[in-house]
Chains A and B, each alone.
Chain A
Amino acid sequence: MAATAPELKAWFVREVLPLEAALLQFLRRSWRNPADLDDLCQEVYARACEAAHQKLPVPAKPFIFAIARNLIIDHVRHENVVSIEAVADPDALSTSVEAPSQERSVMAREELHVLQAAIDKLPERCRQAVLMQKVEGLTRREIALRMAISEKTVKRHLADGMCALADALYGANGNPRQPK
């Protein structure tokens, strides 16, 4: 039975996103241009959802890494640049990926620690805007007033904050992204 959109989304958030750090590590070993990593990762996600919306695969991890491997092979064939041996064997990776079930039961307190570390990495003004929205529940307009900046700037701070938080929460584990 085909998964509904909310089911697919829930599966993606619950099962796939926690694999991101390991996935990036795999891609980094398999692909020589680090500037392509984000695109490749995004492509794995897109392919995964395309395939998974027919039926949600259990478990997700081998499924995702098979897709990543095929993706790399496709690109290698297509570009004819990197030798096929460059593709790392996902099974040989020593990455210890926490099972999603463990990931899910991470206690709220640890979650706050992780969040705090992510928040701390944001640039000062960006962090202030994010905290005003998330902790104080202020609207964009209220934040603009409080910080004495334009709504447009608040918008940018919040959007930057979202991207940085996503990278910190999912892509982290000592795998810094390419500076943008």
Chain B
Amino acid sequence: MTIENNTEEEQAPMTAFAATRAQAAEWLERKGSGEWTAADQTVLDAWLGQSWMNATAFWRLEAAWTRADRLGALRKPASNKAMNRPWSIPALFKIAVGIAVVAVAGAGTLEFYSSSRIKTYATPVGGRELLTLADGSQIELNTDTVLRVATGTANREVWLDKGEAFFEIRHDAAHPFVVNTGAQRVVDLGTKFTARRNGGLTEVSLLEGRAKIETAGPMAHSAILSPGDVAVATATHVSVSAKSTQDLADRLGWQRGMLVFRHTPLAEAAENFNRYNIRKIVIAGAGVGQLTINGTFPTNATDLFSRAARDAFGLHVEVRQGKTIISR
């Protein structure tokens, strides 16, 4: 490594770092400003490629800034007036740890009781909620999700009836954590993973640790998952494929309220938006759904997405009967 920035050291020792950092912060702020284009990304990539100083300064800020996204987990979806009230994380913590068995951080989750031993949590379309279990395990529910949690027993067991959730499970060899997903179950050996139900399929992506997925029924089929594995299970079969770290991170974009597309067909991207929004996107016309896009969008940015599709491909966008229709 040649140290190209050393020349400035004599007159002003702080300059090199402070200047690089200021530039990095400016890039990062612009990137999150909601007006980020592919051209901007190209220029940023070039800047990052210029020196390791640039790259590391940017990564460092970005990592800290991304960690701060966790604050978003405390969002109260029902209220736009949050800033008029004094900000208080401790108050939310009290809710999160105060209830003996299962606690909910955030007020957006509908909670109701189907029996004394099972609690049900549900998020609306576009909602997202973080649960903290008594053992310290955390479960983050994505949009349009229903999860039941067994309480008051030594067994750690939940039922994902619908939607998607991210699990960060405290390891306890004596009490494996079980996620039931209808025709399958996931037995966790102390890990981080997501489970999503999509029609009859269950998709499990493992980030850390180990887990076993098995189909129910007499002809049980099972697979042990390692980090990076994505399992797709039907009622009778499990298939596992290894994905890149990047791909897994993209799939978890929703935790930051983001959808990440890389060479994603328009139809699939629209389907993803439709999970999070009441106003659905309809792709009409031959071949339109097969156009591919790259980009990162807030999950609620239906308009931004349709504008991007319009501008990139010269498509026609109109809102009709509560739907956004994208066509030639």
Taking a contact as CB atoms under 8 Å apart, the answer to whether A135 and B75 are in contact is yes
- Tell me the complex Cα distance, A119–B74, Å: 14
**Cross-chain contact of A6 among B75, B89, B245, B298 (Cβ < 8 A):** B245
**Are the CB atoms of B82 and A136 closer together than 8 Å?**
yes
Q: Let me know if B83 and A131 touch, CB within 8 A.
A: yes
The number of residues on chain A lying at the interface, defined by a beta carbon within 8 Å of a beta carbon of chain B, is: 59
Mark contacts of A113-140 with chain B using CB atoms, 8 A cut-off: 1 yes-contact digit, 0 otherwise: 1011011000000001011111111011
Closest chain-B Cβ to A155's Cβ sits at a distance in Å of 6
Tell me the residues in window 139-175 of chain A with beta carbons closer than 8 Å to chain B beta carbons.
139-141, 146, 155, 158-160, 162-163, 165-166, 168-170
| Residue on B nearest A33 in the bound complex, by CB | B13
Complex contact B68–A134 (CB within 8 A): yes
B96 at the interface (CB under 8 A from A): yes
**A12: which B residues are within 8 A, CB to CB?**
56, 59
**B11 lies within 8 A of chain A by Cβ:** no
Q: Which residue of A lies closest to B14 (CB)?
A: A35
B119 to chain A, nearest CB (A): 19
User: CB-CB < 8 A to B82: which residues of A?
Assistant: 135-136
Q: Which of B52, B73, B93, B138 contacts A46 (CB 8 A)?
A: B52
Q: Contact residues of B with A, CB < 8 Å?
A: 1, 3, 5, 9, 13-14, 16-18, 20-22, 25-26, 28-29, 32-34, 51-53, 55-57, 59-61, 63-65, 67-75, 80, 82-83, 87, 89-90, 93, 96-97, 130, 132, 136, 138, 168, 208, 244-246, 257, 298
Contact residues of A with B, CB < 8 Å? 6-7, 9-10, 12-13, 17, 33, 35-36, 38-39, 41-43, 45-47, 49-51, 104-105, 107-109, 111-113, 115-116, 118-119, 128, 130-137, 139-141, 146, 155, 158-160, 162-163, 165-166, 168-170, 178, 180
Given contacts A12-B56, A112-B70, 10 further A-B contacts (CB under 8 A): A36-B9, A38-B18, A42-B57, A43-B5, A46-B53, A111-B67, A115-B70, A140-B34, A162-B25, A170-B63
